Amino acid sequence: MDHNSDTTEATWLASAGLRPTRQRLALAHLLIGDGQHRHVTAESLYEASRDSDEQVSLATVYNTLRVFSDAGLLREITVNGARSYFDTNVTNHPHFFWEDTEELMDAPDEDLKIAQLPKAPAGTEIAKVDVVIRLRRK
């Protein structure tokens, strides 16, 4: 990773008040290094790190994904009882989930229009709204 992108990742961490450790910078680079939004699982990110020049242990990948999403840098998406997915796009937006390959991707945001949403019951507020469109191969 060159110096410029290194700054980008450090800024990303700093914006959430997180220390720029070697491991966090490496994972941040894999997550936002190219400016594209990305959906990862702990396992997929771990493998990406194994293939890179900065290895991170699996436990740290798990811990870091948790820290990042608690800090609001990532959004956790629950589509599958088993695995957790994390999205670098933290805004409310719909997802496609392929049931056969268990792949998660963004659905075109502008194509979902929710005209009316149930109001939150008294004493509560809406933390987020997850819309998952499950796809089956025809």
Residues near DNA, by CB under 7 A: 18-24, 41-43, 55-60, 62-64, 66-67, 81-84
By beta-carbon proximity to a copy of itself, the closer residue of 8 and 63 is: 63
- Name which position in 79, 87, 88, 104 contacts a copy of itself (CB under 8 A): 79
Which two structure tokens, joined as six digits, stand for 3? 């110096």
Q: Least distance from C-beta 62 to DNA, angstroms?
A: 4
Cβ neighbours of residue 105 closer than 8 Å, sequence gap 6 or more: 39, 95, 96
- DSSP designation for 117: -
Q: What number of other Cβ atoms are within 10 A of residue 42's Cβ?
A: 19
Which residues of this protein are in contact with a copy of itself, per CB under 8 A? Answer: 76, 78-84, 94, 96, 98-99, 107-108, 111-121, 123-138
